[in-house]
Amino acid sequence: MQSVIIVEQELKDSVKGYGQILDTANENKSRSESLDKYIDQEGKITDKLGLSNEIFESIVDLAKLSDKEFEPTFNLAVYILIELTGSMTEVLDKYPTLLTQLTNINPAKQPTLRDRKSIKASSILSLLNNIFNFLPETSKYRIEVVSKILSIVKDSQLNFNIVSQAIGQNLVQWLTTAGASEDEIRSIFWQFISLDNVEYSLETLQVIKKFTSNYKVVKLEELHSLIDFAFKTEVVDVSFLVNSNVSEAIQQYKSSDELVALFDKYVHGEIIQSPSQYPSVTEKSKILALTKFFAESNGVFVFKYADFPSTLVSSPIELETLLIKSIKAGVIEGKLNQLNESFYLTRANRFVLAGSSEDNTKNWEAVEKVLHDWKNSLHNIKDIVNTSRENIVNNQG
Amino acid sequence: MTTSYMHLVRPNVSAPAASSAASSCNVKIHTSALFQILEILSKQVLSNNSSGTSSKRIIGTLLGLRSDDGSEFEVRDAFMVTCTETGDSIAIDEQTHKQMYQLYKKAHPKESVLGWFGSSNQVDSTTALIHDFYSKGSDRSFPYPAIYLNVDYQSEQDLKLPELTTYIGAAIAGQNNGPTRIGWKLINQTSSYVFTPIPNQVITKSITEKLALNKLNEIGPAQNELLLSSSDSSKQLNHLTLQLQAVGLTIESLLNYIKEHKNGNDDDSIDLLRLLSNNLLNRPQRLSNLEELESKFKAYNQDVIMIEYLTKAVKEQIELSARLTAEADKK
């Protein structure tokens, strides 16, 4: 599924129209006159190569147009170049600096609200988006276009939401189909992840998880990038990030690297002291330690305040705050009774990590038991409902 | 879902009311609208042709809602518009479009024309002409940008599962025949567009609709009539029984899956274990304790009856009070 350009006029008219637009921007007639040289009196194009070179050279002048005029005019230039050379791939083969020329037009600073004329970064993104869609899936130029898009989002400090869904879900597939090497894929992927530097969202964590399931974490820097993201995000339980590849990397580096050792403790639910660059980690690790406490107390659902270990909290108010924060983080569910000073647990997360086969075997057995119990109890539900219904009907009668 | 195309921001469109905010577009197609479109296509094309393939162009109008910033489109209905294609030109029955739209507007005053649908296997110059028709003039998408939904159901020789593709038409600068000053109005005088694919998803309007669809899928057409006409009170617990059986079967298949995969250390098994552990373990086992379940169910029923009773009592009180006030006013 590709973008398609349809222009309802002859090529010579498009060339003339393009020349006129540039003349208006330049406030002279030089571009029209130089483009007219390539069209003879019968309206035929005499020198295709010369004309396409001239069109390519004129692209720098498009920076003088207003934002609303810029995108349609660039589209027209692309249309003319495609018509003259054959396809988008051939255009980029012939003019490899076209993408750089386009990104150079990107404003260094975001235009102010008052400024309604300057070209916006979103227009450049839209054009790169179009070029990407003009190219066949296997074209290597798609790799370059994606890189340019990421650098524009970074340089112009655009909101990550613009690219998070559109690129996050498809990035690896696009790069693989376009024939990118594994190193290129890794480098572009972590460049993309580094753009989410404000929200550190759950969606990006899921993208990292999907990526590390398919690609081994070979370098310590990659593991550091993953840990950095996991510590900075608001998501507390990041145990889902520890798949087989990440688990292997943690085992490999935890004895030699402090940050990796700290992350290993964190995902196992131990309370850790925050490194200076991650101020919220202690708070998050306390929530996980509380979750671990619940997960290990099999069969108990009502907890008195006194039952909680003193290493977690020192006062009832602190405990209540921690419980509420844990519920908010989605790692536990339950009801807090302040009068009775008790907590009724209805659900708690478990730390299921790849690589810890003993714990996982126990968890599988526990899950099987619960499913068997559930299945057996379903048989009598219909009778209960039927009896209750008859009781209601009889009582009302 | 992964796609081969990219859609970051809505391109610059020539519609005057299009928002200038940089946001992506998304099209939601209601199942009822999709059925309508597929029915139109099947009646017009498939019934007239034994092989099912046809070069005849079928188009129609998409109706529904669009968000304030013009980035979300919700296709709720569609109708066919007749057209005659001769060579490179096309004649669209504008009058039919207008009458059908005005009729629809009477019943759905908040909805409007979003764009059009077609069943072509390629985007060509006629596509641009039709898109231009829907982008300009009254009783169409104007002043908002039109969308184009293509339902491609033809492979080279035979039929295939319909593929839905939605496009938005980005503007291309046209030849300037007017004064030297280039204003926005002078751009895109011709019907020229860059058709850029935008994401779409098929959605169900309500839970009731979804339930009905599931039901129709479950059983054959001959049984549907029987089910819909059945109102025997003895069958009232049929649905519950079916649902319990369904849950039982799901648990059974899950247990079988676990038996086969519990020794595996692959990421998918670990993800499944994590999901099941987080949701099933450390939970009070209310379902397995029948006595507790029965007492809770009874208590719940009592609550419902009590609420019904109180609602009825309050309603009667309000009505009585209204009558008394009316009587007092008369005197």
**pLDDT exceeds 90 at position B261:** no
Chain B neighbors of A210, CB-CB under 8 A = none
Question: What is the mean pLDDT of the segment spanning B1-28?
Answer: 78
- Six token digits for residue A383: 């009778």
pLDDT in the model for residue A396? 59
Strand B89-92 and strand B112-118: the pairing is unpaired
Pairwise CA distance, residues B140 & B101, whole Å: 9
Per residue in A28-85, pLDDT tens?
Answer: 888 888 888 888 888 788 888 888 888 888 888 888 888 888 888 898 899 999 988 8
- Residue B245: count of CB within 10 angstroms of its CB: 12
Cβ-nearest to A71 among B11, B244, B280: B11
Rg of chain A over Cα atoms, rounded to whole angstroms, equals 31
- From A62's Cα to the closest Cα of chain B, the distance in A is 12
Q: Cβ separation of A7 and B262 shorter than 8 Å?
A: no
Q: Cβ separation of A375 and B190 shorter than 8 Å?
A: no
Residue A217 banded pLDDT, cuts 50, 70, 90: confident
B117 near B29, Cβ under 8 Å? Answer: no
Q: Which of B27, B257, B272, B277 to mutate to test the interface with A (most CBs of A within 10 A)?
A: B277
Instruction: Report percent pLDDT > 90 for chain A.
Output: 28
Pairwise CA distance, residues B271 & B106, whole Å: 52
Q: Indicate the SS3 state at residue A273.
A: coil
Amino acid at residue number A269: G
Per residue in A7-21, pLDDT tens?
Answer: 877 888 888 888 888
**pLDDT exceeds 80 at position B324:** yes
Chain B segment 53-92 residues within 8 A of A by beta carbon are none
Question: Which of the given ranges, A27-31, B97-101, B125-129, B151-155, has the highest pLDDT on average?
Answer: B97-101
Dihedral (C-alpha) A255, A257, A263, A266: value to the nearest 10 degrees?
50
Give the position of tokens 């990550």. A160
Cβ-nearest to B184 among A68, A75, A132: A68
Question: What is the mean pLDDT of the segment spanning A231-245?
Answer: 90
Amino acid at residue number B191: S
Question: What is the mean pLDDT of the segment spanning B105-118?
Answer: 91
**pLDDT exceeds 60 at position A318:** yes
Residue B323 banded pLDDT, cuts 50, 70, 90: very high
Whether the link from the prior residue into B143 is cis, omega within 30° of 0, is: yes
For residue B113, what is the DSSP state? E
More confident residue, B177 or A72: A72
**pLDDT exceeds 50 at position A381:** yes
pLDDT in the model for residue A14? 85
ipTM of this model? 0.82
Give the position of tokens 């006029």. A9
A118 touches chain B (CB under 8 A): no
**pLDDT exceeds 50 at position B177:** no
**pLDDT exceeds 80 at position B288:** no
Residue B47 banded pLDDT, cuts 50, 70, 90: low
Q: Which of A14, A147, A367 to mutate to test the interface with B (most CBs of B within 10 A)?
A: A367
Chain B segment 245-264 residues within 8 A of A by beta carbon are 247-248, 251-252, 254-255, 258, 262
Pairwise CA distance, residues A204 & A186, whole Å: 15
Chain A neighbors of B129, CB-CB under 8 A = 8
Q: Give the up-direction half-sphere exposure of residue A277: CA atoms within 13 A in the CB hemisphere.
A: 8
**pLDDT exceeds 90 at position B265:** no
Q: Cβ separation of B181 and A354 shorter than 8 Å?
A: no
Q: Indicate the SS3 state at residue B89.
A: strand
